[in-house]
Amino acid sequence: MIIEEKNRECIEACLQCMNACNYCYVSSLKEYDLAMLKECIRIDRECADVCAFAAEALSRDTAFASEICELCAKVCDACAEECDKHKHEHCKQCAEACRRCAKICREMSKAA
């Protein structure tokens, strides 16, 4: 895949996290215990959107990689924290993707 080589790992982590968050969002809206998941739905969308934004910004080699990745890491942390409260498989997978993305974004943020 042809992308800015130095940004590749972080782009891919953001895109995986976007997918995990959107999958959790869609799945949560189908769950029986919907009321318990409303904060999860909300932060899933938030996190998917910021990850999508960060991935596209990194793929056009933004001059603001450090600031954008720092923002992305914060939202990922919040999403992981919320998803950790729930037992659903999609929440567990989402929390894991968020933690991984937050870690890689923080490294990117320091390096950029």
- Which residues sit at the interface with a copy of itself, rule CB under 8 A? 1-4, 11, 15-16, 18-20, 22-23, 25-26, 29-30, 34-35, 38, 41-43, 45-46, 48-50, 52-53, 55-57, 59-64, 67-68, 71, 74-75, 78, 90, 93-94, 97
CB of 88 to a copy of itself, least distance (A): 12
Judged by beta carbon, residue 18 or residue 80, the one nearer a copy of itself is: 18
Judged by beta carbon, residue 26 or residue 111, the one nearer a copy of itself is: 26
CB of 74 to a copy of itself, least distance (A): 6
CB of 111 to a copy of itself, least distance (A): 18
Residue 60 tokens read as 């056009």
Judged by beta carbon, residue 92 or residue 107, the one nearer a copy of itself is: 92
Residue 94 tokens read as 């989402």
The length of the chain in residues reads 112
Q: How far is CA 42 from CA 25, 45, 106, in A?
A: 8, 6, 23
